[in-house]
Chains A and B, each alone.
Chain A
């Protein structure tokens, strides 16, 4: 917390003002919630994660088996759906959470965060660095958290605008479609290579790792399994491509709803210098947003629908976030801190609106490009409506949510 003697020019985090003592007390309450859950961790959590792994394995085997006979349309549809679900579970509820060390306490080498590898293009060890460390430590600090726009999008007013960002909506669609490759390249810091801040020669180890993993994934999904179907290879190939696409769009949607909906806050490097533990907790809370929904929706989101709880307690078993969220909300209410939660269509709609809005600089949108700015804001509104439609479809497809 910056002191009142030297206020920053413009606070990036206009949040309810709490005294340092209050912030400390808030942090202690968060620590107490964490402690209670640590003491309660046990067989229930072990059974849960093994159950999810069992379901994922079953879906994967069923999906690949059905796609082998993908020439029959019902088999293709069922196989593609099963494989999509398998990849979503593997990446979201299993991979992401296990790699956070959420199950390290079990001492099971198969569930050790440092050894886990997942079914996506990004090498697990690079993910552990860019995500567990960079993103989770420096959450929403502009200039430090590279998840703000993933180096390719403008997702905050505090990222200076340039003409490249006119393509913001287009880049977003491309990133969503190719999300697994976007994530794979994340640790390369492409934007710093482009600006000359980083040198490609220093990145050869990373590139090699990415190339190895992408090659393995490509051989698996686009050569090996299709080849098993002989001359009918095109059917499993198309099914695998579709499953990867479904997983890409789904994970993009969920992840972008974590930190970018209206109401989430960004922070400056200056104001987060010498941050206390209480302030760290407060930043995680203010920088994250939750999604409301049913239990199946939470599982398929890898419980990232509880992004706030995940950022407060990244290494607690994620399936427990739902039960902790009640306590977290109660504490936030007492301290007058905002707790950002909304249904998927509203949160994602506001993210899409932001992607459009930030394609233009604030000054231009309000000034010279007045009418164009209005159009763009209008498109943002349209995106919200589209979000509503998506939700209706999703509700039909996933009655649980």
Chain B
């Protein structure tokens, strides 16, 4: 039925989850906030989780993970904030082109990084850059529930102009005495409440209130490593982390470099530079095939990560999650394929 209903309105589809942009805001420098309204297939999300958003650019569907920053719930509304990365195809496209009415594909919410139920006695949130978004969902959810326990948020960003949700956080800190907000602007020291990269000295002075807090940290790997170093010796179980890295592609290697992972069969081989089909067969991984010359698409599978080269055309592509023909594709460096 969806094939017919979606001709009237893409959001009428009942099986496939989709969302329409209802509002676009460009508050912080280099980022864009999109308010979305999902269709009936959407089952809602918990604060901290992420969704895969599929955006079509020049006919090609690209999927990226974003954490909703709005308060959790089962309703159709959700908000995402997209931070532009240099060379980032989807983020820059959205920053420049997002307008109300655009329709995206949506996955159901995923991820174990979420605000637990029942709510913890106190919550300590540590975010770096756009890693603030799932923490924002936690903050908004707790205040929507009139949470009375202490909440602290340490946010690390480059400068105040690019700090996402800066004004709203300042307002919340004024309104709620139980909310401790500390910002560090790593490129303009002295402007925020704290300075530099994460250190235990940044934690709220009235540490006792946060002694048994659940800790939620989200940001780039460096920040998470520093945070992990502070919660050791049995305290790890109170620490929840989500790595938030810009979509960096597996660095492109040379033909014959790296490791090929066959995700479904859990098998790994050293890349020889031969076609992925030949290497799969060599490794004993069953792969469907036909013409072995790039014509029939029988061996088409999904590449999950890495860079591949088309052996016939010489074309090189690093796009994640794209369908490739195993018989005429070779890996340039590390590559993972859904086989």
Contacts and interface: CB of A to CB of B under 8 A. Distances in A.
A128 B300 CA distance: 12
Interface string B42-71: 000000000000101011111100000000
Q: Is the interface of A mostly helix, strand, loop or mixed?
A: helix
B291 to A, nearest CB: 4
A45 B62 CA distance: 17
Contacts of B59: 41-47, 105-106
Interface in A37-75: 38, 41-47, 53-54, 57-58, 61
Contacts of A213: none
B271 to A, nearest CB: 24
A57 B7 contact: yes
B300 A107 contact: no
A17 B298 CA distance: 34
A114 interface: yes
A377 interface: no
Given A57-B7, A58-B7, A35 B313 contact: yes
Given A46-B56, A113-B297, A132 B61 contact: no
A104 B296 contact: no
B245 interface: no
Given A31-B312, A104-B323, A129-B290, A114 B60 contact: no
B295 interface: yes
A101 interface: yes
Interface string B10-37: 0000000000000000000000000000
A314 interface: yes
A34 B313 contact: yes
B257 interface: no
A112 B60 CA distance: 12
A256 interface: no
Interface residues of B, number: 25
Contact of A31 (B3, B60, B296, B313): B313
Contacts of B58: 42-43
Interface in A233-284: 277, 280
B61 A101 contact: no
Interface string A314-330: 11000000000000000
Contacts of B293: 137, 277, 280
Contacts of B295: 132-133, 136-137, 314-315
Nearest to A315: B297
A112 B62 CA distance: 14
Given A104-B300, A107-B60, A132-B296, A57 B4 contact: yes
Interface string B286-320: 00001101011110100000000000110100000
A133 B290 CA distance: 5
A384 interface: no
A100 interface: yes
5 contacts: A35-B313, A42-B60, A44-B59, A114-B297, A314-B296
Interface of A: 31, 34-35, 38, 41-47, 53-54, 57-58, 61, 100-101, 104-108, 110, 112-114, 128-129, 132-134, 136-137, 277, 280, 314-315
| 10 nearest A-B pairs in the assembled complex, by CB-CB distance | A133-B290, A46-B59, A101-B297, A107-B61, A137-B291, A133-B296, A132-B296, A42-B58, A43-B59, A42-B59
